[in-house]
Amino acid sequence: MDDSTFKALSRTGTPGRYAAFADLVDLAPAAAFIRGSDGRYLWANHAYAHLYGTVPEQVIGKYIEDLDEPAEADQFRALDQEILSRGTPVRHTLAYRRRDGSAGRAVGHRFPVRENARTCVAGIYVDVTDHLRATVQWQEAEENLQALRDHSGLPCALLSANGRVVEASAAAAELFQVSPHDLVGRRAHTLLAPEPDLDLDRLHRRWTGLISRRTRRVETSAVLVDAHGMQRRAQLHLTTIGHSAGRARHVWAVVTHQSLAHEAHPALTAAQIRILSLLAEGSSNGDIATSLHLSRQTVDYHLSRLRHLLGAATRPALVARAYVLGILAPRAWPPRSATAAHPLSTV
């Protein structure tokens, strides 16, 4: 390239044959340049000059060593020579120092172009610093979530929108007496006891609200059943993932409290649940009868029936069994049912 051509280039900033290329990328967010075989910049767009904290006019006409550290300049010259000798494009990652002093990364291609019968090197790069940082943050969040899932000891599972288990913690697999591999792919409703039906209906309505994003979080209870048919009432926290306006794709389900595993027993009536809550509160048989507008004989019958159903010989044992089986809420006072499915239970 002769001096007259270079002077014209310096004034316009654009080689004549590659004006279309320059016009295309001059104001584009991708950083681009054209450099001669001697390492002198023939053209650069605003995004490329911005990498060095300057403007294109301050880049054109300078050599690689004028802008980059010696070690980096040697690397760039060697890359240019590789492109010139091979005549084929090369994908390259550019490390640079951002204007705020932080490290930056740009990814792109360098390729040969012809100008005045001479081969030059052109390059176009996209700054991926923010993308890489977001990727690292996402990976760290994934690792933290996996650590929480695997080491917190809480039974938890990631569920798809159609209620299938996508991921599960070791504690969740232990709760259901299966391996984590066997738990993944199961439909969540197969892990719930079929009774009482009212509980499942309510849970389904709340699940529908989650998936449609009418709500983001739900706290509820359900009766879980393991591989051996043993049941336990559990407190469930359901949370959708993401903030998009469309349907939720995944839901995290976490068990925060659970009763002891027990064999299935007949579903208790609303009156029986209320009697247990009053009994746990310290009410006598007469007090219970007065509160529920029942006869003393009816209360005595219900208590006798409850002792038989729950396998408890005494009043204190009956109260204890009501708590460990998850019939009564463990964190509520005055005592109340662990589920609001019973219309006569206090909430």
What confidence tens digit (pLDDT) does each residue in 224-279 have?
Answer: 888 888 888 888 899 988 767 778 889 999 998 887 777 777 678 888 888 888 98
Confidence of residue 80 (pLDDT cuts 50, 70, 90): very high
CATH topology assigned to domain 266-347: Arc Repressor Mutant, subunit A (1.10.10)
CATH 1.10.10.10 segments of the chain: 266-347
Q: Which two tokens stand for residue 326?
A: 């998850």
Q: Give pLDDT, residue 10.
A: 42
- Minimal CA–CA distance to 337: which of 188, 155, 199? 199
Contact in structure between 220 and 203 (CB atoms under 8 Å): yes
- CATH architecture for residues 3-127: 2-Layer Sandwich (3.30)
Q: Tell me the CATH number of domain 132-258, given options 3.30.420.40, 3.30.200.20, 3.40.50.720, 3.30.450.20.
A: 3.30.450.20
Which residues are within 8 A (CB) of 136 and not within 5 positions of it... i.e. 6 or more apart? none
Contact in structure between 156 and 174 (CB atoms under 8 Å): no
Long-range CB pairs of 203-212 (<8 Å, 24+ gap) are 206/238, 207/163, 207/238, 207/251, 210/238, 210/240, 210/248, 210/251, 211/161, 211/240, 211/247, 211/248, 211/251, 212/247, 212/248
Contact in structure between 154 and 171 (CB atoms under 8 Å): yes
Q: What single letter denotes the amino acid at residue 236?
A: L
253: left (phi over 0), alpha (psi -120 to 50) or beta: beta
pLDDT in tens, 92-122: 887 777 767 777 888 889 999 887 778 999 9
CATH 3.30.450.20 segments of the chain: 3-127, 132-258
In terms of pLDDT, which residue wins out, 201 or 322?
322
Whether residue 64 has pLDDT greater than 80: yes
Q: pTM value? A: 0.52
